[in-house]
Amino acid sequence: MGCSLLGEAGSIKTFYNNHRSILFFIMITWLKTFVVSTLIFQLHIARIFEVLFFLGSTLGFLIMTYGLGMYLNVKWQNRYYLFLHCVLTIILYANVVYYREFTDIITLPMLSMSANMGDLSTSIFALVKWYDIIYFFDLIIIVYLLMKKTNCLTVQKLFFQQTKGYVFTAIIIMTIVISLGNVLEKTHFFNRDQLVRTIGLYSFYVYDMFVHTQTNAQPVFSNEDDWSRIEKHLNEYHVSPNPDMFGIAKDMNVIVVSLESVESFVIGDTLYGEEITPFLNELIDDSFYFENFYYQTGQGKTSDAEFLINNSLYPLGRGAVFLTHDTNEYQALPETLSHYGYYNSVLHANDKTFYNRDVMYPNLGYDKYFSFSDYNISIRNSVGWGLKDIDFVEQSMNYIREFQEPFYSTIITLTNHFPFHLDEEDQFIEPFDSESIILNQYFPTVRYTDEAIRVLVEKLKEAGLYENTMLVMYGDHYGIANTHYEQLARFLDKEIDLYEEVKLNRVPLIIHIPGIKGEVLDTISGQIDVMPTLLNLLGIPEGDHTMFGNDLFSKDREGFAVLRNGTVVTEENIFLNETCLNYKNGEEIPLELCEPNRERGAWELYFSDKIIYRDLFRFKENRLLGNE
């Protein structure tokens, strides 16, 4: 056919004529991966060496993996190439779908979450689009060419003597690129976008497999000596809790409410003249409200937020701690409170095995987990992920009013969960009008959750529990992914640049103590700071707790928050994506001005990871109660 080359004038021409198939598969996969990575994953490669590393690493990986097919019998080579291309397409497409909502890359530890896929089905279906067929067009063309038996896809077996140098070179190229890419930027370990930008998507999984193997082996090689550097770091940045706030909520009940996907930008704002969060706005007037409070979750999302709140440790950058390290020793808040006579519970109308909660909760010191089977759930009172928040709160109060006091209870809401479905009769506010259905639906579900909190407070008052209960409400993670920022900018009436994008990582934190006058605090903080704050308010000494956070009311506190991707926010500057911004106005400033804070943030994440991966609390003497 028309694909033939006349003659075999040289080795390159000969190789091309004999191996058009492998060259075709490599080139089409290479091109497809580059286009998708830059356009869909928004990996805006700005520097020439990043382009070269990305292209070189991806090409090296493809040469090595497709090249293995050259050892096969001729009749099996095209089948192998087609199979490999299908696998790589699935990997690419799975990440496309995942990135649409989570703006992240799938990691190997996330495979342990496969048991939760049934619960995630609503979200997955919302992410799959009809036009995604475009990602598989090349497969249709390839299958057609193979069926036509065109000589455009010719193959010929290469013997070991002919190919050992070829394969060895491919392996060396990819190994060097991965090594250089990892060393090139220290923050790559924490920022998968930058890592993939440098070494490519497929090479990332080689790297991730290496990290996965390495971290799984860490507990075997750990010992008590690992604590010395960690404690030195913590002592350097620890500040004393505010003595004036010590014990102002002593012996009170504590209800911690996880506000699913609620971000700070909705607080105090309106839509079409209607308040989006009228009750929270009202409650804030009589509470401590932290307006610069950042979520610090990783791939474990809501479970990561729970981990942060209850341990003052950072979640892992890969996977969910609840799934991968559920048998570790911890110094969790519920366990500490149990020594002070608290009854600890979690109320969440979801499958008890989701995020392995039924195993992790007892390990953290919770006495009881009220899950899906403890609630009356029907088609009438459920939507999206499960029981509607108002029904959930009403049924939860049947349990709460019977708890022995004092109690510590975590309530996890569900209705304001992606993709934000809500029956029209339950909507207290009109949807937004934009091209983003997700953004449009977000406001009614936030408003519904706000109404559920109103019901909770009213029920606490009816039960006679309100006056002796400290309410702590926090947003667990973002609600609107950056893939919807163009439409969100219309609502906010401003451009969302890098500076504004960082500020959209803020979530509400409200601490309401009946009888105590509140205020709005602007200290830069994060979920890591909640546990030391609650201990101080409850009049419990820090003792020998290992906590990366600091009391939010401390008079010596310096504003600081490091996000799980390595972004660092301080009162002076913001570090993200190898860029340094002035905190006050968002103007770009010299990168070296961010270096001390970037370095502190990197060490924070590293040391916290080390504690978890090596299960270091098993070596730590239990002196948690301090001196009363």
Structure tokens given for 561: 């928050």
DSSP secondary structure code for residue 506 in this structure = B
Decide: 19 and 156 in contact? Cβ < 8 Å: yes
Residue identified by tokens 């009202």 is: 282
C-alpha pair distances (Å), 314 with each of 109, 220, 277, 481, 611: 17, 22, 29, 21, 10
Is 224 annotated among the ligand-binding residues? no
Structure tokens given for 13: 């021409």
Nearest CA-CA partner of 549 in 313, 361, 383: 313
Determine which one of 154, 215, 297, 302 is catalytic. Answer: 302
Decide: 55 and 202 in contact? Cβ < 8 Å: no
CB atoms within 10 A of CB 71: 15
Residue identified by tokens 């409070």 is: 293
Q: How far apart are CA 216 and CA 213, in angstroms?
A: 5
C-alpha pair distances (Å), 359 with each of 44, 140, 335, 366, 368: 41, 45, 15, 10, 11
Active site residue 302: yes
Is 476 annotated among the ligand-binding residues? yes
Query: Which ranges of 244-297 would DSSP assign to H, the alpha helix?
Result: 278-284
Q: How far apart are CA 178 and CA 195, in angstroms?
A: 9
Residue identified by tokens 């809401």 is: 413
Residue identified by tokens 């804070």 is: 597
Please tell me whether residue 533 adopts helix, strand or coil conformation: helix
Backbone angles phi, psi at 488, to 5 degrees: -65, -35
Backbone angles phi, psi at 398, to 5 degrees: -60, -30
Is 212 annotated among the ligand-binding residues? no
C-alpha pair distances (Å), 510 with each of 379, 458, 480: 32, 17, 21
Q: Which residues are annotated as catalytic?
A: 302
Residues contributing to the annotated binding site: 260, 302, 417, 476-477
Residues contributing to the annotated binding site for substrate: 417
Residues contributing to the annotated binding site for Mn(2+): 260, 302, 476-477
